Amino acid sequence: MSLPIERLRKTIRCPHCHGCLTLSNDRDEQTGEHWYECKFCKQEFPIINDVPRLLLSPLREALLGNARTFGTNERQVKTALSFGFEWTRFPEMYEEWNRTFLDYMQPHRPEFFDGKKVLDAGCGNGRFAYYAAKYGAEVWAIDIGPAVEVAQRNTETSENVQVIQADLHDPPFAPESFDFIYSIGVLHHLPDPEAAFHNLLRYLKPGGEAQIYLYWKPDGQPIKAGLLAIIEALRKVTTRLPHRAVYGLAFPAALAAFTFFVWPYRLLKRVPGLSKLAEKMSMKQYAGLPFRVCVNDQLDRFSAPIENRYNRMEVEAWLRRGNLQDRQVSPNYGWVASGRKPAAPEAGWTGLRQSPILNR
């Protein structure tokens, strides 16, 4: 369900010039829906299936299927379409997502979200936006690709969720709009993840918090490092294949993961004296999840065009360079990192480093 127009008007901005947007009085002849127009640069942004499409041209045309990708960042478009394909194939809303959401949000408990204005930066199928709203947050969920269609359906019963198709590099919001910003499993798929993270901090209110999840490097773990080296070699082939072909490979990859890791883990956990050995096994996080979740993740692993990984020191440096306070980095099959924007920012605080993405 979309938020009231008045709330939209106060928060959304033109992604090109950051001017205020007005809702058209007329309706599009083909879609029957309104559109937004920027008061200053006069750009127009369609609303399709109740989702504002606040993307810059030519990216907007490329993703909405009205043009070729000429003139766009081709890897950006491929990434958007890859995850759009993924989430349209895996739209399910499992009860287990509630536990997963709270796991990624640690140390925050459900009551933390009550009354907060939250940005879900890279919402996928809307699974985390749904639970943030369930716990009382007003959620603005953005994604760059076709996944917004799935997110809109999965959150249509939530009265306080607004899904928007938008680019993390050009968020269509007024500065300092949000109490809490989270981005789970998204930034590491971008060309310049740290620049995108620091850009998001501009939209965080003073005193607000940001929380992210990033893939980790298996430093000091030669077996895991070897497995990832094999996976990376395979990715050089699979990322060039059609999405449907990778989708076909994801099932046997997940079956192999369950055969060699998940099922043995479940068995060892039941044997007295072997539980410690079981806890050292890879992929044990899937033991309490449906098999299709693992299939979904294998599709993600082998189809996403870009995959970056980090060690703890690198993630800590992100938070430090973002001038965040109360910084925390915790292992969770990757890194969950968080920090708080100063309540009274020092003079000249921007929360971002110099980057060609942010200074174009």
pLDDT digits (tens, 9 = 90+) for 81-124: 788 888 888 999 999 999 999 999 999 999 999 999 999 999 99
| DSSP reduced 3-state for 10 | helix
Strand-by-strand arrangement of the 325-331 sheet = 161-165, 138-143, 117-121, 178-184, 204-214, 335-340, 325-331
pLDDT band at 57 (very low <50, low <70, confident <90, very high): confident
The answer to whether residue 122 sits within a structural domain is: no
Give the pLDDT score at 360: 33
The answer to whether residue 179 sits within a structural domain is: no
Query: To the nearest whole percent, how much of the chain has pLDDT over 90?
Result: 67
The answer to whether residue 281 sits within a structural domain is: yes
- The total number of structural domains that make up the chain: 1
Packing angle of the helix pair 243-257, 291-303 (nearest 10 deg)? 130
The answer to whether residue 2 sits within a structural domain is: no
Instruction: For residue 98, give Cα distances in angstroms to 93, 113, 135, 210, 303.
Output: 9, 14, 11, 20, 26
Structure tokens, 146 = 């076709």
Give the pLDDT score at 181: 99
329 Cβ neighbours under 8 A, 6+ residues apart: 312, 315, 316, 319, 335, 336, 337
Is the distance from CB of 271 to CB of 199 less than 8 angstroms?
no
Residues of the domain holding 261: 240-303
The answer to whether residue 296 sits within a structural domain is: yes
pLDDT band at 188 (very low <50, low <70, confident <90, very high): very high
Mean of the per-residue pLDDT values for the chain? 88
Give the pLDDT score at 65: 60
Q: What element of type H or E holds 222?
A: helix 222-238
The answer to whether residue 169 sits within a structural domain is: no
Is the distance from CB of 209 to CB of 200 less than 8 angstroms?
no
Please tell me which of 60-64, 184-188, 343-347 the model is most confident about, judged by mean pLDDT: 184-188
Q: Model confidence over 8-27: pLDDT tens digits?
A: 888 999 999 999 999 987 77
| Model confidence at 349: pLDDT above 60 | no
The answer to whether residue 89 sits within a structural domain is: no
| Model confidence at 145: pLDDT above 60 | yes
| Model confidence at 299: pLDDT above 90 | yes
What DSSP state is assigned to residue 113? Answer: G
Give the pLDDT score at 273: 85
Give the pLDDT score at 355: 37
Q: Model confidence over 224-235: pLDDT tens digits?
A: 889 899 999 999
